[in-house]
Amino acid sequence: MPLQSKILSRSELLKQRSAVPATAEKIADPLDQVFVKILAGATIDFINRLKCWWSQYADSRPEGEVPREINPDSKLPALPIFLRFVQYQALSTRGRISDYAVKGTIKTQMHSLMSLWRREALQALPRHYQQQILAYIDSEELHNVAPLSTESRPKFTLTGVDFEILVRAFFQDPRFRTTRMAVQMAYLISIQSLMTERPGALVEGSKYRNTDRALLWTEHQWHVVPNPDDPHHPHVYIRALIHRLKGLGSDQSAYKEFILYPKLNSNRAYCPFSMATAMALQDGIFADVTTAEDIFHPAIPPTDHHILSHRPSTSTLCAVHSEILNDNIWETAPTRAMTYDIYNGHLRRTSLNKGFVSAVTGYCARRGASNRLSRQISDDKLRTLMGHTKKSDIFDTSYKSKLIDVDLGAVLHDRPINESNTRIGSTASNMSARMDANAPQRLSVEAYTELLAEEELVAMRETRAKLAKQVVTLSNEVKSAEDDEASQISVTSQIAALKAQLDKHDKEYRNILAREKRDPMNKKEKNSTKGKENRPPSTAPILSKSTSSMDEFIATFFDAATAFDTINDSIIAYIKAINTLPSQRLNICYPNESPDSANKCPICGTLCSSSTMPKGIGKHIHNCIAARMHSDAQQRATDNFDHTTCAWDGCSPQVYESRPDFIAHMHTHLTSLTKLSLHGNQMCKWHRDGNICAEEGDGDWMVPDWANHFATDHSLNVNATIAVDHCAICGQWFEDDMGDGASWASHCMGHYDDMFSPFQERQHGLVDLQPTGIVDIGGAISYDPCDFVGSALLHGHIKRGIALRPYFCPFCVFDAGLPIARRMMQYRDITTFQRHLSQQHLLDSDTTLCPVPSCGTHEFSLYELATHLVLFHRLPVVGTLRSVETNTLRLPTLDKDGGLDLVLVHNRGSAVPSKCSTSDDDNQAGPSKKPQIDTDNECPGITPSVKKYHCTGCRQPVKDITRHFITSALGSLCRKRHTFFQLSDNGEKIGPYTFELPTDTSLAGTSTKRGRHHYCPPCDALFADIRTHLPDHCSSKIFKIKQPKKHRRGRDGVEHVFAEWVLTAPPLL
């Protein structure tokens, strides 16, 4: 046995510790500087923002009046300077509750500013400064300048009823990737509902990323006490410690303790003691026990009170973990702590999916627990539980419920309290009150028609018509004017300004419609939120479910279907049931799209295996569900169609009894408008309220543009097929039965606000663009897809054809001129995303700034920009490499001419081969199968020395610009604009030039596969319209339609039966 070390004297300790090199170096540092105490990360962030506001305020004042920096050399400004800063903050701070900020917010900022001067400038503001600053905030003078709000956001309280609903929902929700996450969520919300604890003391806070500052297993002690009445069933309880208290996160001496007792058998499903023990056994933290029987039913009964010992290796192990992808399967991370974002996100999503009117947060549980305990314990003990100081009034102001559910009438009339009324009235405090999972999600058709008739929207449509008319007028002037070049440029700039104004006007109009349609709670019509009878029929397929282990678990412990003799027996059964539940999904699928209990596709019944589903089980199931969704949507539209007549001016009053006939007829009007648009003479002649609409479209409007006009202005969906969109982020489906795409656009806007709005402002000054979390492996980088980038979350993660997180284009996301659905396009295929990024943006990019505004104003070359997108934003600009545990991206390279090489590379590591390869004289290519075009190249801008051109219609580089224009499809943007640039060797654009289109259009539409979306499987061929092929030239009964936004190849399209499709198809052009 080794001896204990000698007790050293003070001089010996000083000598020993001073000999440490790091300590000796620090001792030698000078001490004539300003020292600041250690602050929390959140406090430092707020102080940095406050310094930034002060610097901006100093820049707005005359030079030298206000010091920009707060340091010991700064001179303390006069009192009016601080009062002006109060005005500056009151006028520049955006309010969340009302137009102006809350008065308490401004007071908090000024208190922090006073502390900042005292701490970093060593100058305390005089008492009369402090008194006047606070008095000015409450004065009438400031109110006349900026009427600060005194309102407060609603603070909801999680009651016992809400708690039970949430815990059950955690286990029933199929969106949880692992069972362990459901148990962890139930445990955390239980602790908060019992102990009034902050979420930051239980999980890793947002300001402490990658620190694993969360609840530890070493903060749990399992106490076993002998039971004389039943020796083989001892008493067991958990003594838990909570560190990281409010304001004392770095003080290890600050903590509080509580005891978790086993609940009764009827409440076993809500017992945090059982949850903690089950997770502890899964993590193997005990040194001497491995099963529940060893603790609750030991073979040798305990004879004395003892504590279960932990393994030394689990001293830093967190009790609640995040999830990681391991070998393409989501599983519980062995060491990574659960973050607040994950905890709060699951709470919010689960509560809203259950139909709660307001989303649940961790503070709702803390508020509910404090209100319940305030009726049972003294104020001193309550403050200890809440972590408040002795004289703090935070509980009364921020946590105490304002609802008084006492029968006041009984007190007034001195009669017995009506317990029934009191019980009914107290339910008003439940967050689950008025819970309705079938509540309407948007307005009915009648309500939407009333919405369109609102005066403000009518005026906006009239304004748009005037702006559009001005654009058409100026466009005609440009075509017919014979003025000099300066006049032409002036008119063109006016047209561009008007179109920008039109885009801004349309965006505002769409936002108003989307906001009003998705918020039926604010409508005045009767029964707007009564229930499912007001909600359109669900478009989700009904999947058959058989009895599973989860169903048995719910029935046993939530519904108390099984009786147990003792509490210990119930706990043992609970832990065994948790362990028998599937730990994770066996296949990577989108939410609610997993195989059934027989491991078959729930739609087509195909056995799920790699041989029957070579493109991936999850992708197969998703495609089957998508086909079912489209089919159901089409069938509902047909069934809900009412007999109608065409209201087009001059059209015969024929009654159309079926939707296909009516849509086919309407497409004759739309195609005629499209043809007229080539001559600039298009106008809607639909009768509305006895008048002709007379809406004039833009010169480049196609059939979809007119269809959108009918949907938004006439509440008429004239699309042959009903669009159905799927969100890979949250797994929801959206059926566009109205034809305006408003529901999908509104959903996209919600994701934009959550994901990208914090990064939409261009940052000025020095911005840290140093990439983190990447490993250079030579010509490529690798990174963990679960790590947070610290910037806009644009990079995706795709496994087995399933977008666990889709890619987003940075150029489109932050382009305010595009529709929100286009900006938030979710790319689920890396190759498609690469092609879009390179061909649509990088090849003709003339910008030197990163498209993500938060990256600041640093100017890049094209090569530097591509490298920045790979390193900092983790986007596959030039390709990926195959990897299992990490994502691996190739780094951009320069070609032999010094330009950026954007050759797309597959994840298998080989470049995409060119279809037109060069060869020697002995291996000459045969004659081309394409129609030969006789050209003399006399068009301005087309010269033999130029090898590449850029079309302004498709925005793609082409080698033969003459063939490109002649073979472009009729009505395409290439033909409408018929302008192009020459591309020099260094990529510079020369031009633009105008191409004179020939009158012969026989070769139009023969250039490429663009526009040919109908696919015949037996012939393996694409067609612009399948009716030119079926049934005359092929006996196939089925074909597929490729959707360019979703399908890469024609064989991946949606399958249709030709005989059924032809009945609803648009006219053959």
Helices 127-137, 103-120: axis angle to 10 degrees equals 160
pLDDT reading at 1050 higher than 60 = yes
Q: Stretch 215-238: mean pLDDT, rounded?
A: 91
The tokens for 40 are 């929390």
**Strands 893-894 and 220-225, bridge-based pairing:** unpaired
Give the 3-state secondary structure of residue 388.
coil
* CA distance linking residue 313 with residue 334, whole number of Å: 12
* CA distance linking residue 878 with residue 876, whole number of Å: 6
* CA distance linking residue 339 with residue 214, whole number of Å: 8
pLDDT reading at 851 higher than 70 = yes
Contact 136, 86 (CB under 8 A): yes
* CA distance linking residue 204 with residue 41, whole number of Å: 13
Q: Stretch 627-640: mean pLDDT, rounded?
A: 86
Kind and range of the H or E run holding 871: helix 862-871
The tokens for 190 are 């239980």
- The more confidently predicted of residues 424 and 42 is 42
**Strands 220-225 and 235-242, bridge-based pairing:** antiparallel
Kind and range of the H or E run holding 332: strand 329-337
CA 160 to chain centre: 31
The domain limits of the chain are 41-145, 160-399, 445-521, 641-726, 756-762+773-901, 932-994, 1014-1064
pLDDT reading at 50 higher than 70 = yes
Q: Stretch 801-818: mean pLDDT, rounded?
A: 88
* CA distance linking residue 383 with residue 275, whole number of Å: 28
* CA distance linking residue 839 with residue 1010, whole number of Å: 15
The tokens for 363 are 């503070």
Measured over the CA atoms of residue 364, residue 366, residue 368 and residue 371, the dihedral's sign is negative
Of 399-413, 508-522, 558-572, 664-678, highest mean pLDDT: 558-572
Q: Which of 497, 520, 518, 516 is nearest to 508 (CA)?
A: 516
Instruction: Please report which confidence band the pLDDT of residue 918 belongs to, taking 50, 70 and 90 as the band edges.
Output: very low
* CA distance linking residue 346 with residue 1009, whole number of Å: 44
Q: Name the residue with tokens 């109110």.
A: 143
Give the pLDDT of residue 54: 92
* CA distance linking residue 833 with residue 810, whole number of Å: 11
Phi/psi at 570 (5° precision): -65, -40
Q: If you write DSSP's letter for every residue of 258-278 in order, what string do you get? A: EEEPPPPGGGGGG-HHHHHHH
Please tell me what DSSP assigns to residue 6: P
Give the pLDDT of residue 279: 92
pLDDT reading at 757 higher than 70 = yes
Contact 874, 889 (CB under 8 A): yes
In sequence order, the β-bridge partners of residue 28 are: none
Give the pLDDT of residue 389: 58
Instruction: Please report which confidence band the pLDDT of residue 916 belongs to, taking 50, 70 and 90 as the band edges.
Output: very low
In sequence order, the β-bridge partners of residue 220 are: 240
624-633, 661-670, 676-685, 791-800: least confidently modelled range? 676-685
Length of the chain: 1069
Contact 662, 638 (CB under 8 A): no
Q: What CA–CA distances, in Å, run from 299 to 226, 277, 289, 302?
A: 13, 19, 12, 9
Q: Stretch 313-318: mean pLDDT, rounded?
A: 86
Dihedral angle computed from the Cα positions of residues 546, 549, 554 and 559, in that order, rounded to the nearest 10 degrees: 80
Give the pLDDT of residue 519: 47
Contact 738, 715 (CB under 8 A): yes
Helices 340-353, 160-172: axis angle to 10 degrees equals 100
Phi/psi at 977 (5° precision): -90, -35
* CA distance linking residue 869 with residue 855, whole number of Å: 11
**160-399 adopts what CATH topology?**
hpI Integrase; Chain A (1.10.443)
pLDDT reading at 226 higher than 50 = yes
* CA distance linking residue 304 with residue 227, whole number of Å: 10
Neighbours of 704 (CB within 10 A): 11
Give the pLDDT of residue 808: 93
Q: Stretch 187-213: mean pLDDT, rounded?
A: 81
Instruction: Return the biggest CA–CA distance within the chain.
Output: 112
* CA distance linking residue 362 with residue 350, whole number of Å: 13
Q: Stretch 955-962: mean pLDDT, rounded?
A: 78
Contact 133, 82 (CB under 8 A): yes
Q: What CA–CA distances, in Å, run from 970 to 668, 902, 904, 999?
A: 17, 31, 30, 12
Contact 962, 939 (CB under 8 A): yes
104-113, 510-519, 905-914: least confidently modelled range? 905-914
Give the pLDDT of residue 906: 44
Contact 827, 833 (CB under 8 A): yes
Question: At a CB cut-off of 8 Å and minimum separation 6, what does 941 contact?
Answer: 949, 980, 982, 990, 991, 992, 993, 995
Residues 683, 688, 691, CA angle at the centre, nearest 5°? 75
Of 196-200, 285-289, 910-914, highest mean pLDDT: 285-289
- The more confidently predicted of residues 446 and 136 is 136
- Cis peptide leading into residue 21 (ω within 30°): no
Q: What CA–CA distances, in Å, run from 926 to 252, 273, 923, 1063?
A: 81, 78, 9, 43
CA 694 to chain centre: 40
Q: Which of 168, 175, 170 is nearest to 592 (CA)?
A: 175
* CA distance linking residue 521 with residue 530, whole number of Å: 10
277 burial (CB, 10 Å; 0-12 / 13-18 / 19+) is buried
Question: At a CB cut-off of 8 Å and minimum separation 6, what does 378 contact?
Answer: none
The tokens for 96 are 């969340």
Q: Stretch 397-418: mean pLDDT, rounded?
A: 68
Give the pLDDT of residue 429: 65
Question: At a CB cut-off of 8 Å and minimum separation 6, what does 1000 contact?
Answer: none
Is 0.75 surpassed by the pTM of this model?
no
Question: At a CB cut-off of 8 Å and minimum separation 6, what does 564 contact?
Answer: 265, 570, 573
- Cis peptide leading into residue 1031 (ω within 30°): yes
The tokens for 202 are 């239980």
Per-residue burial over 816-849, b = 16 or more CB atoms within 10 Å of its CB, e = otherwise: eebbbbebbbbbbbbbbbbbbbbbbbbbbbeeee
Q: Stretch 429-447: mean pLDDT, rounded?
A: 60
Within 13 Å of residue 981, how many CA atoms lie on the same side as its CB? 16
Question: At a CB cut-off of 8 Å and minimum separation 6, what does 140 contact?
Answer: none
Q: Stretch 996-1010: mean pLDDT, rounded?
A: 63
